[in-house]
Structures are given as C-alpha cells and as structure tokens.
Amino acid sequence: MEAQQKKRVLSLIQPTGTFTLGNYLGALKNFVRLQDDYECVYGLADLHAITVRQEPAALRKNVLEAYALLLAMGIDLEKSIFFIQSQVPEHSQLAWVLNCYTQFGELSRMTQFKDKSAKHADNINAGLFTYPCLMAADILLYQADYVPVGADQKQHLELTRNIAERFNGLYSPTFTVPEPIIPKHGARIMSLQDPTKKMSKSDENVNAFVAVLDDPDTILRKFKRAVTDSDACVRFDPENKPGVSNLMSIYSAVTGKDHGGDRGPEFDGQGYGAFKPAVGEAVIECLRPIREETERILKDKAYLESVYKAGAEKASYVANKTLRKVYKKVGLCSPLTYIFLKEK
C-alpha cells in the first residue's frame, strides 16, 4: 500500500538578532516537532528584514548565526528544506508578478504597514508597503498546505489566500490555497522584570529576557534578579503572583515536569532564594546543548556554507516548478534559473 504523502508546512523567520527563551519555548521548539508529521520548508527571511535599515555586517552575521542556531535546535536537513531567502531568486521573481495581481487598497489596509510606518516614520519605503506580496510569494512558491500563524500574521495569510484564488480564477489552478495551522501552544513566556508583558528581545532592560545563546553565568544572574513578590511562597497563581507563576511555567517547560497546579511540590516550604537559582540552572541545562552545538557549527565555516547552499538549491528546485507555471500563464519566457538548474 502506497504511503500517504505528507502535507507541506512552510514558515519563514526574520533573522534580526537575538532569539529569546520565549521564542524557543513558544514557537521554535514546535518547528522541530512539526517535522515528524509534515513535509517542512523553513527559511530565513532576510529580504523582509531590509524593509527597515540594517547594518550590513550585522545582518549577515545574524543570518548565519540564526541558520546555525536553528540547526542546533533540531531542524533536520534530511527531513526539511531550510534555506536563506535571498539565495533563492524565485522569491523576488514571483513577488513582482504577484505585485501586479494585488490591489493598492488591499495593501493599504495591512495593519502591520501602518504600525511599522509609525515606528519608522523616516523610512516609509515601497518595500514596507508591498512586502505582503513577497510574503505571499514565499508561501505560494512551495505550494504550502499549511502556514503556522500568530495573531499578527493572520491578515497577511488571508491576503495570500485572496491572491492565490484570484490568480487561479483568472488562469487555471496554479497555486495551492494555504490554510492556517495553529501550532500546539508552547509555553507563553513573560518578561523576567515585568511579568505582565511577553518576553521580548527589544526590551530596554537586558535583565528582562534570556537569549538562547546567553552564557550560563548571565542566565543565572538574570533569574536571580527576576521579579517575584514579597510573599516568599512558591505557588502558581498568575493573577496574584505573576512573577512566580512565570518562573514556574518556565521551569515546567524546560524540565517537562508539571508545576503541580497551585503549588510547586519541589519547592514547597522553600523561599525564592532557592527557587529562582533552581529555575536558572534548569534553563542553563536546557539551552546548553543548543549553545554548544551552535558554537561548533559557526566555527566550521565550510560545513555551514555547504549546508545553506544545498538548502538554497533544494528550495530553488521546488520553487522554480511553480515559477515556470506562473511565467507561462502570464506570458513570460521561462525563468533563467530553471535553465541553469537544468544544465547542472
């Protein structure tokens, strides 16, 4: 009996710097799990990153570090395609075509454009306005069945679906119309200094977040400084004890141990002086293999270059099949990238 083909999931991540413990436990860890049930296509969206000004050397460093980090987290190159967006020219080529099938009004209603325009009022560029078309190209190139989305991306996925349906209706079925997939929620990790806010790398207080690549001493120091309360009782009560409850959630997420409902049985009768360092040590041990493997990969520059180039070739092979169909239907000549791949 023929094995049923797995559905395809696609997700791109902006490599704009630090990945936090919250990013890892809340989303990235789930990317690894998805590989067991789906055919996964993952990418680093460096073209999206330049809609705001980037320091060139820092962006290149961030891209390579993010690639190594995601490999260290468990992205399996035998199971998944993993590429750097700018190395797959089909993304930009399809994005231009989709620009011509997207209405000005649709783009002007994008809430993220309004938000980012307000934040970067000195650089409201065309790329910022049209980047939903590039996002649509990212998805439609790979005929993705599902796209993991958060609340801030639902509007963009809906636009992608509209573009795909419009193009399919004008010509003939060309694109798979993607569905949102709501990943199994990882832990919602809050700021260590203000547990009413999500942990964020953009927090001005560096003690508010833990970076995945922070060294053990830094991690332990941040947890020792974590905001709790004056009760000195380890109890899970998000409403009245948000700081302690956040630490209990982190401890549970990194150890796999249930925090025991109202009380943390491991810390019953102990004060925060024992509790906070214990959480820090558990996080250190969770992140240690990821940090060490990331450092090993980054030192082996030849290996890193070979795998991201191979990833780009695999991605381009899949993407070009879609681009050829699109070019033919709109009346363009076959894309050169296909010719190069064919000659190879």
Alpha-helical segments (H) within 42-196: 46-49, 56-73, 90-99, 104-108, 111-119, 126-140, 154-170
Mind telling me the catalytic residues? 116, 198, 201
Give dist(CA 65, CA 13) in Å, integer: 13
117-123, long-range: CB within 8 Å, 24+ apart, which pairs?
120/52, 123/52, 123/53
Residue 77: CB atoms within 10 A of its CB come to: 13
Reference 10, options 174, 153, 118, 128; nearest CA is: 153
| End-to-end Cα spacing for the chain | 35
Return the C-alpha torsion angle 287, 233, 241, 235, nearest 10.
Answer: 70
Task: Determine contact, residues 249/258, Cβ cutoff 8 Å.
Answer: no
Which tokens belong to 261?
């409902």
